Amino acid sequence: MIKAKRVSTGDIVVIVVCVLLILICLLPMLNVLARSLSAPEYIIRNEVMLLPKGLNFDSYTNVLNDKKTPRSLVWTAFITIIGTVLSMVLTTICAYPLTYDHLKGKKFFNALIIFTMYFNAGTIPMYLLLKDLALLNKPAVLVIPYCLSVFNMIIMRSFLYGIPESLRESAEIDGAGPIRTLISIYLPLSTSVIATLSLFYAVGRWNGYSDALMFMTNKREYWPIQLLLFNILNNSNSVEVATQEGFTMPGLSETIKSATVMFATIPILLVYPWLQKYFITGVTIGAVKG
pLDDT per residue over 33-54, tens digit each?
888 888 877 777 777 888 888 7
Query: pTM here?
Result: 0.77
Query: Distance between CA 81 and CA 202 in Å, rounded?
Result: 7
Q: What local confidence, expressed as pLDDT, does residue 284 receive?
A: 56
Percent of all residues in the chain with a pLDDT value above 70, rounded to a whole number = 85
CATH topology (fold) of 62-288: MetI-like fold (1.10.3720)
More confident residue, 76 or 6: 76
Residue type, 194: I
pLDDT at 85 over 90: yes
Of 158-162, 232-236, 254-258, minimum mean pLDDT range: 232-236
Q: What is the residue-averaged pLDDT of the chain?
A: 80
Tens-digit pLDDT profile for residues 168-208? 888 888 888 888 888 888 888 888 888 888 888 988 888 88
Query: Distance between CA 8 and CA 13 in Å, rounded?
Result: 9
Mention every residue, 6+ apart, whose C-beta is less than 8 A from residue 168: 181, 185, 186
Q: What local confidence, expressed as pLDDT, does residue 283 receive?
A: 54
Which of the residue ranges 200-204, 241-245, 246-250 has the most confident prediction, judged by mean pLDDT? 200-204
Q: Please count the residues of the chain.
A: 290
Bridge partners for 248 per DSSP:
242
More confident residue, 5 or 12: 12
56-68: average pLDDT: 78
Q: What are phi and psi of 242, to 5 degrees?
A: -80, 135
Own/partner contacts of 93-100, CB < 8 Å, gap of 24 or more, are 94/148, 94/153, 95/153, 95/154, 95/156, 95/157, 95/160, 96/160, 96/178, 96/182, 96/186, 97/178, 98/157, 99/157, 99/160, 99/161, 100/178
Q: How confident is the model at residue 86 (pLDDT cuts 50, 70, 90)?
A: very high
